[in-house]
Chain A
Amino acid sequence: MRHVAVRFLVAVVVVVAAVGLHADGPATPRQVAASAARHVVKIYGAGGVRGLEAYQSGIILSPDGRIATVMSTVLDADDIECVLDDGRRFAATLVGVDPRRELAVLSIEATDLPACDVEAGRAGPGTRAMAISNLFGVAVGDERASVQRGVIAAVVPLEARRGAAEAPYAGDVYVLDFTTNNPGSPGGALVDARGRLLGMLGKELRSTASGIWLNYALPADELVAGCQEIVSGRVATTTGPTAAPFDLRALGLVLVPDLLGRTPPFVETVVPGSPAEQAGLRPDDLVVAVGARAVASRHALEMAVGSIVAGDPVRIAVIRDGRVVDCELGPRPEEARP
C-alpha cells in the first residue's frame, strides 16, 4: 500500500511538472538558458581580414530550416556554415535580405528543428532578459553558445550610426542594460524569463545623440515581419524612403547660415504662406525639438525634418524670448513630394 502511494505521488509530480512546463514554459534561468540555446545557431562565413569577424549568430525561425540573422559582411561568402546547438553542421544558403532592418534569412536542409516561441507583445524597461549568442566566437566546435543576463534599459527609436553613416532602421529597439555589442553577438536571441523570444541582438552601432556604443535588440515583431517579407519576396529593394525626404525649403524655413558646422538652428526668415509660417514660426526662434526629438544643431534639425511622414501633424518646439513655445505644424502637404 505504501509502495503504491509513493508510486502515485511520483506520478502526480511528473504530471504536474509536465503540465506546468507546458503551460508556462521553462521557468528557472537554467531551464530558460538551456531551452533558448537550442534555437540559436553559430554562423561562420566571410571575413577574418582587416579586423572584421567571420562569425555571428542566428535564430531558428521554423522547423524546416529557416534561420534569421543580421545582414552583414559575414554572409558575403560562397560557403556559409551554421552550427546548431546539437552540434550538427549545415551549409546554408542566403534566402534574402531586408536592408532597412538589416536582416537576412538563411536556409539549411533540415527538418524538425526546434523553432522558438515568439513573444508577440513588446516588453518594457526593467524586464529581465537573457541573451544567447556566438559572443566573441568563444564557443568553439560543438560548444553551446554563450549566455548573458540583464534587463531591458529602455525601448526607444533607434537613432544610431555606424562610422559616419546613419543606421537605416529608425523603429523601436530594446536598449539593453548589459554588454551585447560584441563581435559574434549580432543575430543572437534575446529571450524573456520564460524563454520566449523578445528580439534579435543588433549590429555594432553608436548612439547618434550621445556617441556611446549601443547594446540593443530588434524587437521580435519587427524581426518576424522582416523575415516574412524576405521569405515572401516583398522586401523593398531600396533602403531609402519611397517619398522624397521633407526638407527645410518645403517647410518654408531659412536658418542662420551654418558657418562653423556648429551653429544652433536659429530661424533667419520664414517664407510667407509656407507651412512654417502657418505653424507660427518666426525669425529669431531657436528650434529645440521636432516632435519628441531634440535638435541641437542645424544638421540634427535637417535629419528630424527629413523623417516627417506625410499626413502626420508635427509639433515644433522653439525658444522665443527665453520661453519654450510649441508650434503645431499641420500635416505634411502632398505637394512637398516631387
Chain B
Amino acid sequence: MNTGWSCRRSVWLAVACAALVAGALPAARVWAAVEPTEAEGEAFRAAVAHVAGAVVRIEPLGDVAAAKDAVAMGPSTGLVVDPSGLILATTFAVPETASTVIVVTPAGARTTARPLGRDAARGVVLLATDPLPDVPRLDVASRRNLRPGQWAIAVGRAWKATEPSMAIGVVSAVERAWGLAVQTDASVSPMNYGGPLVDIAGRVIGIVVPLPAETAGLTSGTELYDAGIGFAVPLEDILHELPRLRAGESTLPGLLGISYLSRDRINGAPVIASVRQGSPAARAGLRGGDRIVAVDGRPTRRIADVRHAIVPRHAGDALTIAVERSTAQGDVTMDVTATLAARLPPWRRAILGVVGAESSTEVEWVVPGGPADVAGVVAGDRIVGMAAPSQGVEATQPTSSSLAGTLAGCEPGDDVRLMLGRSGGDVEVEVTLAEMLRQVPDASVPVAAGDPLVGPLDAGRIARLEAAEIADPAVAVIPSGTAPAPLIIACGSPRGRVEEADAIAWKAVAAMSGVAVIVPGSSDPRQWSADDVPGVLRGIQALDAMRPVDPARIAVVGSGAGGGFAWLVAERLGPACRGVAVLDAPIPRQVTITDAEPGDARWILMGGSSAESVSRLAPDRMRLEAAGHAVGSLPMASELPRELLVRWATLLGVW
C-alpha cells in the first residue's frame, strides 16, 4: 500500500515534471526575449527605422579633409523635411563659402544640393535638391510634451550612406540656450550633426546642432564634443520659419541694445541701466531706469525671462515691450515696439574725466584738461546727482554703478548736469562728455588717497604666487596697502621659470604707485604657448587672495613674443581685461576681436620699435577702433615704457 502509493507518486511526479519542464521551456525563452536589454535594442531600431528614410548624408565639396589633430569637416547628416527636395543641415557642415554640397540619399544615390536660407542663431541651413518623392512624412514631437529623462536617439548617416547610425541618450533639458535648444546626453559629433534627434516612437524632437558654447550660455571656447552634452534645435521652431528659409532669407540673432542695472544676469530685476546709442532700444524710445514688465505679452520678472523672450528671435523681428517708467506724474506703464537688429553700432565710451574709488561716487582725481576739469570739478567732490537729458535720466543720490550705467548710454558730446557735494556747499556744473582717452596723460593719479600704509619707504614687496598644481608659479610685485590695486600682467620674452629678480624693474616703478604686477614664466624657455595661460589666471587668483585686485583695472602688456602671449591672456580674461599694451606684437590669428560693450571695452596702446613695425600694426589699430575700443600709441622704443604703463593702469577705470 505504502509502496504502491510511493510508486504511483514517483510516476506521477516524473510525468508531471516532464510536462511542466516541456511547457516551461518556451516560457523561459519568452522571458529571456522580453528582457529589457533586448527589448530596448528593438525599440531603438524601430524608432530609427521610422525616420531613417528622411535622413541623408551630406558630403562637402572640395577639400575640407580632416586637419591632423582637429575635429574637422567630413561627411555629415541632413534631414529631408519636404519631398520637394528641401533638406535641413547644419551651418557647420555647409559653411557660407559652400555654394554646392553633395547629398547621398538612403538608396545611395548622389545628387547636388544648393543652400537656400540659413538661421545663424540655430546653426541650421536649408538645402534644395531634386524632388525626393519616397521620403516618409516626419512626425514632430512637440516640445510641450517633452520631459527630461525620456529617450532621445540621435540618428546620423555620415558613417555609412546606406545604413543610419544611432546614438542613444535621454532628453537632458527641454529649454536650453534661452529656449533655442533641447539638450541631450546622446553622443553628438560631426557624424550626426544635422540628423534628427528622435523620441522612442521615432518622432522628431529636433535637429542635432553644434550650438556655439556662447549661445549655450557656457564659457566661450568650451569643447562640447564628446562631453555628455549636446543640443538639438526643435524641429517645430524651424518648420515655423521654413517659408523664410525657403525664400533664401537668412536670419541672424536679433539684438536690442540694452544693459541692465543688476549684475545678476539671471535673477536680477530687468531694469535698464543704459540704452545703446542708435540701437533698436534707443529707436523704440527705451531709457535707462525703465523696468521691462513683459515682452510680447509674456511677463518678465527676471532678466532671464527677457533673454528667453529675445534670444530665440531674429534680427528684423518686431517685439512689443511693456515697460514701467517713473515720471514726475508717477509710475506709468507703456508699450513700445522695437525691431531687433543684427548688429549694434559699436559702443563708444563717453567719459567725464574723473577717477573714483570703485564703490563710491567721490572724485579722487580729475583728468587735467578733461571735461570735468573744464567744468570745474575738483578732487574731493562727491557726485550727489546727475541728469542726462539724452537718456531721460534724472538721478539723485546715484550709486557708482548707476552712474556708470547712465554714462554707458551717453555718447561723446552729450551734455550732462552734475550735482556736486562739496565742503563749501553743493554746486551744479554742466559737463560735455568726451571720447575715451587715447593717450596717457602726463600727470598721474595720487596713490590710494587716504591709505596710510603706503609710503615711499614701504612700497611693497616681490613674492612668488604659489598655487596648487602650478609647477612654475609667476612672481609678483605686491604693493603695500589694502585698497584694491590696479594690476599689470607683464609678459616678457619667454624665459622658462621666472625669478624674483625678473620683477625688480617693475617694482621700482609700480609699487610706489600702488600698482600690482604679475610676471609670468613660460613652460618652454624658447616660446610662449596657450598652455601657459591658465597659470597666469591662477596667478591672478593667488595675488587677489594676498592683496585685492581692482577688477576694473586689470591690464596685460608685452612686447614681441610676449606681446602675442599678452593678446592670448587678454582674450582668455575677456571682459575682465580692461587694457592691452603691446610693442611689436600684431594680434595673433586665433584671437578674435569682439565689439566693445559697456563693461567690456578696452583701452589699447600699441607701438613698435621701428617705423616699419609701427606701420605693420595699422590694420590691427583700425580693426580695434572699428570695434569701438580706444587705441592709443606707445612711443617708438625697443622696450615697454614701464612708468607710462603704470600711469595708464591707474587710469583704466576712468569715468
Give me the interface of A with B, judged by CB distance under 8 Å. 4, 8, 11-12, 15-17, 19-20, 23-24, 27-29, 32, 124-128, 150-151, 153-156, 164, 175, 177-179, 193-194, 206-213, 262-264, 286, 288-289, 292, 294, 296-300, 317, 319, 322-324, 326
Partner of A12, one of B21, B63, B102: B21
Please determine whether B162 and A209 come into contact, CB atoms closer than 8 angstroms: no
A-B contact pairs, 6 of them (CB 8 A): A126-B44, A128-B37, A150-B168, A151-B44, A210-B190, A297-B62
Contacts of B67 in A (CB 8 A): 211
Contacts of B7 in A (CB 8 A): none
Please determine whether A288 and B102 come into contact, CB atoms closer than 8 angstroms: yes
Please determine whether A288 and B29 come into contact, CB atoms closer than 8 angstroms: no
Contacts of B60 in A (CB 8 A): 296
Minimum Cβ distance to chain B for residue A258 (Å): 9
Output the nearest chain B residue to A1 by Cβ-Cβ distance. Answer: B9
Please determine whether A125 and B48 come into contact, CB atoms closer than 8 angstroms: yes
Please determine whether B72 and A210 come into contact, CB atoms closer than 8 angstroms: yes
Minimum Cβ distance to chain B for residue A294 (Å): 4
Contacts of A262 in B (CB 8 A): 62-63, 65
Please determine whether B189 and A319 come into contact, CB atoms closer than 8 angstroms: no
Minimum Cβ distance to chain A for residue B145 (Å): 24
Given contacts A8-B17, A125-B166, A210-B189, contact A289 B110 (CB under 8 A): yes
Please determine whether A212 and B191 come into contact, CB atoms closer than 8 angstroms: yes
Minimum Cβ distance to chain B for residue A194 (Å): 8
In addition to A151-B166, A210-B72, A210-B158, 18 A-B residue pairs with Cβ atoms within 8 Å of each other are A12-B17, A19-B25, A24-B28, A27-B32, A126-B48, A127-B41, A150-B168, A153-B166, A164-B68, A193-B37, A194-B32, A207-B191, A208-B66, A210-B191, A212-B226, A294-B59, A297-B65, A324-B102
Please determine whether A177 and B166 come into contact, CB atoms closer than 8 angstroms: yes
Please determine whether B163 and A296 come into contact, CB atoms closer than 8 angstroms: no
Given contacts A209-B158, A211-B72, contact A153 B165 (CB under 8 A): yes
Please determine whether B59 and A288 come into contact, CB atoms closer than 8 angstroms: yes
- 1/0 per position for B265-297, CB-CB distance to A under 8 A? 000000000000000000000000000000000
Please determine whether B61 and A319 come into contact, CB atoms closer than 8 angstroms: yes
Contacts of B69 in A (CB 8 A): 211
Minimum Cβ distance to chain A for residue B93 (Å): 10
Does B70 sit at the interface, judged by CB under 8 A? yes
Q: How far is B530's CA from A137's CA once the two chains are assembled, in angstroms?
A: 31
Please determine whether B163 and A155 come into contact, CB atoms closer than 8 angstroms: yes
Please determine whether A296 and B164 come into contact, CB atoms closer than 8 angstroms: no
Residues of B in contact (CB 8 Å), total: 64
Contacts of A206 in B (CB 8 A): 66
Please determine whether B41 and A126 come into contact, CB atoms closer than 8 angstroms: yes
Q: How far is B52's CA from A125's CA once the two chains are assembled, in angstroms?
A: 12
Please determine whether B41 and A193 come into contact, CB atoms closer than 8 angstroms: yes
Given contacts A125-B166, A126-B45, A128-B40, contact A28 B35 (CB under 8 A): yes
Please determine whether B63 and A124 come into contact, CB atoms closer than 8 angstroms: no
Given contacts A15-B21, A211-B72, contact A125 B63 (CB under 8 A): no
Partner of A299, one of B65, B162, B165, B167: B65
Contacts of A24 in B (CB 8 A): 28-29, 32
Contacts of B65 in A (CB 8 A): 262, 296-297, 299-300
Give me the interface of B with A, judged by CB distance under 8 Å. 9, 13, 16-17, 20-21, 24-25, 27-29, 31-32, 35, 37-38, 40-42, 44-45, 48, 59-75, 100, 102, 104, 108, 110-112, 156, 158-168, 187, 189-191, 225-226
Contacts of B110 in A (CB 8 A): 288-289, 317, 324, 326
Minimum Cβ distance to chain A for residue B283 (Å): 44
Q: How far is B31's CA from A208's CA once the two chains are assembled, in angstroms?
A: 43
Output the nearest chain A residue to B153 by Cβ-Cβ distance. Answer: A126
Partner of A23, one of B29, B41, B100: B29
Minimum Cβ distance to chain A for residue B61 (Å): 7
Contacts of B17 in A (CB 8 A): 8, 11-12, 15
Q: How far is B38's CA from A151's CA once the two chains are assembled, in angstroms?
A: 11
Partner of B20, one of A12, A29, A208: A12
A-B contact count (CB 8 A): 185
Given contacts A27-B35, A288-B102, contact A8 B13 (CB under 8 A): yes
Please determine whether A16 and B64 come into contact, CB atoms closer than 8 angstroms: no
Contacts of B226 in A (CB 8 A): 179, 212-213
Please determine whether A177 and B168 come into contact, CB atoms closer than 8 angstroms: yes
Q: How far is B26's CA from A23's CA once the two chains are assembled, in angstroms?
A: 10
Output the nearest chain A residue to B114 by Cβ-Cβ distance. Answer: A322
Please determine whether A12 and B59 come into contact, CB atoms closer than 8 angstroms: no
Q: How far is B17's CA from A212's CA once the two chains are assembled, in angstroms?
A: 57
Minimum Cβ distance to chain B for residue A60 (Å): 23
Q: How far is B29's CA from A149's CA once the two chains are assembled, in angstroms?
A: 23
Minimum Cβ distance to chain A for residue B188 (Å): 11
Please determine whether A23 and B63 come into contact, CB atoms closer than 8 angstroms: no
Given contacts A16-B28, A126-B45, A209-B75, contact A296 B63 (CB under 8 A): yes
Minimum Cβ distance to chain B for residue A325 (Å): 9
Minimum Cβ distance to chain A for residue B338 (Å): 42
Contacts of B29 in A (CB 8 A): 20, 23-24
Given contacts A23-B28, A212-B190, contact A128 B63 (CB under 8 A): no
Please determine whether A263 and B63 come into contact, CB atoms closer than 8 angstroms: yes
Contacts of B32 in A (CB 8 A): 20, 24, 27, 194
Partner of B61, one of A193, A296, A326: A296
Please determine whether A16 and B71 come into contact, CB atoms closer than 8 angstroms: no
Output the nearest chain A residue to B160 by Cβ-Cβ distance. Answer: A156
Please determine whether A151 and B24 come into contact, CB atoms closer than 8 angstroms: no
Given contacts A128-B41, A175-B159, contact A23 B75 (CB under 8 A): no
Q: How far is B45's CA from A128's CA once the two chains are assembled, in angstroms?
A: 10
Minimum Cβ distance to chain B for residue A1 (Å): 10
Please determine whether B160 and A154 come into contact, CB atoms closer than 8 angstroms: yes
Minimum Cβ distance to chain B for residue A179 (Å): 8
Please determine whether B160 and A155 come into contact, CB atoms closer than 8 angstroms: yes
Contacts of A212 in B (CB 8 A): 71, 189-191, 225-226
Contacts of B40 in A (CB 8 A): 128
Q: How far is B375's CA from A50's CA once the two chains are assembled, in angstroms?
A: 68
Minimum Cβ distance to chain A for residue B110 (Å): 4
Q: How far is B100's CA from A12's CA once the two chains are assembled, in angstroms?
A: 68
Given contacts A128-B41, A209-B66, A324-B102, contact A292 B163 (CB under 8 A): no
Q: How far is B108's CA from A242's CA once the two chains are assembled, in angstroms?
A: 30
Minimum Cβ distance to chain B for residue A6 (Å): 13
Contacts of B59 in A (CB 8 A): 288-289, 294, 296
Q: How far is B164's CA from A154's CA once the two chains are assembled, in angstroms?
A: 7
Output the nearest chain B residue to A29 by Cβ-Cβ distance. Answer: B37
Output the nearest chain B residue to A212 by Cβ-Cβ distance. Answer: B189
Output the nearest chain B residue to A7 by Cβ-Cβ distance. Answer: B13
Contacts of B102 in A (CB 8 A): 288-289, 294, 317, 319, 324
Q: How far is B32's CA from A11's CA once the two chains are assembled, in angstroms?
A: 20
Please determine whether A322 and B100 come into contact, CB atoms closer than 8 angstroms: yes
Please determine whether A292 and B161 come into contact, CB atoms closer than 8 angstroms: yes
Output the nearest chain A residue to B111 by Cβ-Cβ distance. Answer: A324
Q: How far is B549's CA from A305's CA once the two chains are assembled, in angstroms?
A: 62
Partner of A175, one of B31, B70, B165: B165
The 4 closest A-B pairs by CB, nearest first: A20-B28, A209-B74, A154-B165, A297-B63
Contacts of B73 in A (CB 8 A): 210
Contacts of A300 in B (CB 8 A): 63, 65
Please determine whether B112 and A324 come into contact, CB atoms closer than 8 angstroms: yes
Max chain B C-beta neighbours (<10 A), residue from A28, A151, A209, A326 = A209
Minimum Cβ distance to chain A for residue B105 (Å): 11
Max chain A C-beta neighbours (<10 A), residue from B16, B59, B111 = B59
Given contacts A177-B166, A193-B41, A212-B225, contact A296 B62 (CB under 8 A): yes
Minimum Cβ distance to chain B for residue A225 (Å): 22
Q: How far is B74's CA from A297's CA once the two chains are assembled, in angstroms?
A: 11
Minimum Cβ distance to chain A for residue B41 (Å): 4
Q: How far is B165's CA from A151's CA once the two chains are assembled, in angstroms?
A: 10
Q: How far is B38's CA from A152's CA once the two chains are assembled, in angstroms?
A: 13
Contacts of B166 in A (CB 8 A): 125-126, 151, 153-154, 177
Please determine whether B112 and A210 come into contact, CB atoms closer than 8 angstroms: no
